């Protein structure tokens, strides 16, 4: 190996070890995820792709357990750095148990999924159930690495999520263009980040490890369940507006709204790395307030920039979402960028609540879901629905920021109870 090659390899390793590596890895993962969807849409056609898209959407919903495990592991390790070995052992046991249980439930429900999603056969639903297992396991592993702030292996885990999905899934589709082939590719690709996570944690896996008592293990399960419910509420708040649009708007306008949401999702996903990086700090008493303020400032600036760019480059954004067929929403694309910015802030605040094991966050988000569905039901135009959703999001953001202020005041001058 030449000196230049060694230097280049060292620079790449150093980059991935830094927080910038997380940003790059998550960006690659998001691109890979969307690329798989694009390849599937092109190779399968609308009918079969609709089945794959519905299965992937269901997998996204089921992944809230993965996210709950990741949040629980990262919070506990960050809050109790002297108990890392025992926490890791407890979390990984809980992770495998949760993965097998969720996979079993999903497998039992496969016939219902087959009928509900109107699939061509039962096998794609079975493959979905099998894919739930590695997807859930990856969450616990990633949470341990996140809590320990081991950015290099965590970056590799994220890279192993996005790149193999498009390479393996796309390869399967090129050979056999069916929804079964697509889900088989997803299943195989889903085990690669688990393999990377196992390799990164092998130093503990080789030893007997420490163990918590039954009470602590039950508390981990309770925290995982509570975190998963809060994240499920956020998932509903960030995705139900397209269902409302389909219900209250005409087919054409509903399609325009869905096109605008591509901008929303892009702005939401762009800064997700900030939540991953800041969450361990938000879980500690000394760093929590500063981490939340840093995150809110960063997301506000980035959101303003994204909104301004979308407004100034509306024609380019229109190409990005599908071209002239979506010209009817061109002048409102900046508003969809605002929605993405608000959701990014909401996501940070949800994780800030999880970092302190707050019980109120999920109820505020759930109330926002009810308000969105109720207020959105009376909208009769794309812009009106988008404004309605924005107002609901703003109210939820204000309430959650107020909740954070109360929490940090209580941390500064401890009193009984917990928000």
What token pair was written down for 188?
Answer: 């195989």
The residue behind tokens 């056969």 is 121
Q: What is the dihedral of CA 20, 348, 225, 390, to 10 degrees?
A: -130
Integer angstrom CA distances of residue 152 from 28, 312, 347: 15, 37, 24
| Contact between 168 and 185 (Cβ < 8 Å) | yes
**Sequence ranges of the domains in the chain:** 3-212, 229-412
pLDDT number for residue 206: 46
Sign of dihedral through CA atoms 86, 349, 306, 321? positive
pLDDT number for residue 249: 78
Question: Mind listing the pLDDT tens digit of every residue in the chain (419 residues)?
Answer: 555 555 455 555 555 566 677 888 888 888 887 778 777 777 776 567 667 777 887 888 888 899 899 988 888 888 787 777 888 888 888 899 999 999 999 999 999 988 877 788 899 999 999 999 999 999 999 999 988 888 889 999 999 998 898 899 889 988 888 888 889 999 999 999 999 999 999 876 444 455 555 677 788 888 888 888 888 888 888 888 877 887 787 777 877 787 788 788 888 888 888 888 888 888 887 787 888 899 999 999 999 999 999 999 988 888 776 677 778 878 888 999 999 999 999 999 998 888 877 778 889 999 999 999 899 888 888 889 999 999 999 999 999 999 888 877 776 665 444 44
In whole angstroms, give the CA distance from residue 43 to residue 45: 6
pLDDT number for residue 149: 86
pTM of structure: 0.78
Cβ neighbours for 42, distance < 8 A, ≥ 6 positions apart: none
Burial of 291 (0-12, 13-18, 19+ CB in 10 A): buried
Q: How long a stretch of residues is the chain? A: 419
In whole angstroms, give the CA distance from residue 115 to residue 122: 9
SS (H, E, C) the chain: CCHHHHHHHHHHHHHHHCHHHHHHHHHHHHHHHHHHHHHHHHHHHHHHHHHHHHHHHHHHHHCHHHHHHHHHHHHHHHHCHHHHHHHHHHHHHHHHHHHHHHHHHHHHCHHHHHHHCCCCCCHHHHHHHHHHHHHHHHHHHHHHHHHCCCHHHHHHHHHHHHHHHHHHHHHHHHHCCCHHHHHHHHHHHHHHHHHHHHHHCHHHHCCCCCCCCHHHHHHHHHHHHHHHHHHHHHHHHHHHHHHHHHHHCCHHHHHHHHHHHHHHHHHHHCCHHHHHHHHHHHCCCCCHHHHHHHHHHHHHHHHHHHHHHHHHCHHHHHHHHCHHHHHHHHHHHHHHHHHHHHHHHHHHHHHHHHHCCCCCHHHHHHHHHHHHHHHHCCCCCHHHHHHHHHHHHHHHHHHHHHHHHHHHHHHHCCCCCCC
pLDDT number for residue 307: 93
Half-sphere exposure of 223 (CA within 13 A, CB side): 25
Backbone angles phi, psi at 357, to 5 degrees: 55, 35
Burial of 137 (0-12, 13-18, 19+ CB in 10 A): buried
What token pair was written down for 389?
Answer: 């959703």
Half-sphere exposure of 207 (CA within 13 A, CB side): 10
């Amino acid at each position: 190996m030449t000196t230049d090659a060694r230097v280049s390899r060292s620079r790449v390793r150093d980059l991935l070890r830094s927080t910038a590596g997380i940003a790059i890895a998550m960006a690659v993962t998001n691109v890979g995820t969307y690329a798989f969807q694009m390849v599937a849409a092109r190779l399968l056609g609308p009918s079969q792709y609709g089945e794959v898209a519905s299965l992937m959407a269901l997998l996204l919903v089921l992944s809230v357990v993965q996210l709950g495990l990741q949040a629980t592991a990262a919070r506990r390790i960050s809050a109790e750095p002297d108990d890392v070995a025992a926490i890791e052992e407890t979390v990984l046991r809980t992770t495998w148990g949760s993965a097998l249980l969720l996979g079993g439930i999903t497998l039992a429900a496969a016939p219902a999924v087959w009928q509900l999603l109107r699939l061509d056969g039962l096998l794609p639903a079975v493959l979905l159930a099998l894919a739930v297992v590695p997807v859930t396991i990856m969450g616990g592993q990633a949470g341990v690495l996140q809590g320990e702030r081991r950015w290099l292996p965590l970056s590799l885990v994220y890279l192993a999520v996005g790149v193999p999905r498009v390479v393996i899934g796309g390869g399967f589709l090129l050979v056999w263009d069916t929804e079964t082939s697509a889900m088989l590719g997803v299943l195989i690709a889903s085990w690669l980040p688990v393999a990377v996570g196992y390799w990164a944690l092998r130093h503990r896996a080789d030893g007997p490890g420490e163990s918590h008592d039954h009470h602590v293990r039950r508390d981990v399960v309770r925290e995982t369940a509570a975190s998963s419910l809060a994240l499920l509420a956020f998932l509903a708040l960030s995705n139900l507006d397209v269902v409302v649009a389909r219900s209250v708007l005409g087919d054409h306008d509903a399609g325009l709204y869905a096109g605008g949401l591509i901008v929303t999702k892009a702005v939401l996903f762009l800064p997700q790395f900030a939540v991953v990086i800041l969450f361990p700090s938000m879980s500690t008493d000394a760093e929590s307030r500063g981490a939340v303020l840093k995150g809110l400032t960063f997301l506000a600036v980035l959101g303003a920039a994204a909104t301004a760019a979308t407004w100034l480059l509306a024609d380019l954004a229109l190409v990005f979402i599908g071209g002239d067929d979506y010209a009817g929403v061109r002048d409102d694309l900046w508003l969809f960028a605002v929605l993405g910015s608000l959701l990014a802030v909401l996501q940070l605040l949800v994780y800030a609540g999880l970092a302190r094991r707050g019980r109120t966050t999920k109820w505020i988000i759930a109330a926002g879901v009810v308000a969105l569905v109720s207020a959105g039901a009376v909208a009769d135009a794309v812009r009106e629905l988008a404004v309605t959703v924005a107002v609901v999001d703003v109210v939820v953001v204000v309430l959650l920021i107020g909740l954070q202020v109360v929490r940090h005041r209580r941390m500064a001058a401890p009193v009984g109870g917990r928000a």
